[in-house]
Structure 1
């Protein structure tokens, strides 16, 4: 009987690398490389969205000997230099996904930043002022980009699908944050592509005071791996490890 291959996925979000962080992350990435097969970084790679912060992270990631899959977060967009950040970081070992997918071993990863808009019956609709419609349209566009990326994996016959996000696709993993800001932490629109494409798990960050684990549609595991949550949970090296 053929033994099923297990892939060990390490995941963290909201690492907020600063220019003063040189040398801070080397041991962290070495530890992950020894214990996992793939590292996911779920947005807010930089602290203020500056390409010089990305350059520091790029240097630190040289200590990581396994493939790295990332999405950008809202902090990475702060100065409008997100394209430069992606350019600085992306190489043969570091993959920045924005509506794209990549297959590593027998696991497919689809990634988008995502956006806000609220959850379930309180999902914001496209009605009213143009500014409100533009907010909702951004959430719709991000969910369509996620759908497109997952469709690419369908064409590759990959059955193990993982979504990498920054914003949350369900309310359960933002619980702990003030309810007033839920609409800015994620959107149920991101959940629909996960269900349709039979994703086995999704990772996100952004909600620093949220909840580590939740479930979508009774069978899709959702993990909020924002670094502050993992630190609070007592992880010596703050990353979550999932075997698939």
Structure 2
């Protein structure tokens, strides 16, 4: 786990700027520098919830890495399904891991006295429609992927509880942990937008808020037994008339 010392002033409010689904393309040269300069002027920590690249190419990641140099605050992110498209997700992560950039894959980091745990997540459906570990080998493998992602999230949150007991916890993922924030998408694709298996660690570990993307036609906000959940996909922020191209949340 990657830890940064807690802040001394426990009462200080930390401003998080969250966004997802950047889908950076190699033709985006110069497009994102101003974005990250602006976002770092309004927040203490930036959260990027997956689909950092458009086609999962390390060239796109390199362009994003250059743009992130204009960001003057720590960046915490997770990868999304687009970042896995070409099987180069490890290269993408390596490209983006800088001194102030943390790409989490079942890990946790503490910044300014706030704990952040991150996973990509996976599909599988929600509530009573969630897929079960039954049937063909391929179906079992699909469900197992969601189980593994939930276990990684739980371990990361457990680390924060054990090593930094009492600090507020924030979770990042690409796939949704609940149905509420994917509503607006066709119901037929709900099983591919997230999984309720991701919800249990969030509730049990008493996470303050969770951020995700992926469902571009979903809803901005949902509630998971007291855990605030935000779909911060750029298209969602735009379609709901959000005044900024990112979402501000105070801890």
Residues in 2 aligned to 1:9 and 1:29: alpha-carbon distance in whole angstroms: 13
SS in 1 for 2:139: helix
Aligned to 1:16: 23
Unpaired runs of at least 5, structure 1: none
1:142 paired with 2:149, answer yes
Instruction: Look up the SS of the partner of 1:63 in the other structure.
Output: coil
Structure 1 residue 120 and structure 2 residue 127: aligned?
A: yes
Q: Distance in 2 between matches of 1:3 and 1:41?
A: 25
> What is the SS of the residue equivalent to 2:102?
strand
Q: Answer yes or no: is 1:170 the counterpart of 2:198.
A: no
Measure how far apart 1:56 and its partner are: 0.2
Partner of 1:204: 212
Partner secondary structure for residue 137 of structure 1: helix
Partner of 2:196: 188
Structure 1 residue 237: deviation in Å?
3.5
> Given that residues 108 and 158 in structure 1 are in contact (C-alpha distance below 8 angstroms), is that contact kept between their aligned partners in structure 2?
no
Q: State the 1:3 CA deviation.
A: 7.7
The unaligned stretches of length 5 or more in structure 2 are 1-8
Q: Give deviations 1:157-180, integer Å, cap 9, x for gaps.
A: 242000000000000000000000
2-structure distance, mates of 1:120, 1:137:
17
Partner secondary structure for residue 249 of structure 2: strand
- Measured in 2, the distance between the counterparts of 1:197 and 1:58 equals 32
In the alignment, which of 35, 46, 49 is matched to residue 53 of structure 2?
46
1:60 aligns to what?
67
Moved over 6 A (4+): none
Match in the other structure for 1:4 = 11
CA distance in 1, matches of 2:71, 2:181: 28
1:75 Cα deviation after fit: 0.1
Q: Normalising by structure 2, what TM-score? A: 0.95
- Kindly report the root-mean-square deviation, in angstroms, between the aligned alpha carbons of the 2 structures: 1.0
Is the CA contact 2:10–2:113 (under 8 Å) kept in the aligned structure 1?
no
